[in-house]
Amino acid sequence: MKETMVESKVNYALEHDGKFFIFENVPARVCKETGEQFFAPDTVEHIQKIIKSSKVPDRIIETPVYNFA
């Protein structure tokens, strides 16, 4: 199977130290066949820098949490 990658802007969510972070409009290469997202090292470093900084988020959303069990 041939994979076709396209440049795109995606949303990226992660948990760090018990907090959830959502990043919007993150540049990524996305596989058209699988939807897998690939991020450049500079992009990952920028996300880490934002998490470690005191930067005020653009907005805050409330997120429900459910226990699957």
Total-model pTM:
0.83
> Which strands sit side by side in the sheet containing 5-16, from one edge to the other?
5-16, 19-31, 37-38
Helix (H) or strand (E) holding 51: helix 41-52
26 in Cβ contact with 39 (< 8 Å)? yes
What are the angstrom distances between the C-alpha of 2 and each of 31, 34, 36, 60?
A: 10, 11, 14, 40
pLDDT band at 28 (very low <50, low <70, confident <90, very high): very high
Does residue 38 carry a pLDDT above 70?
Answer: yes
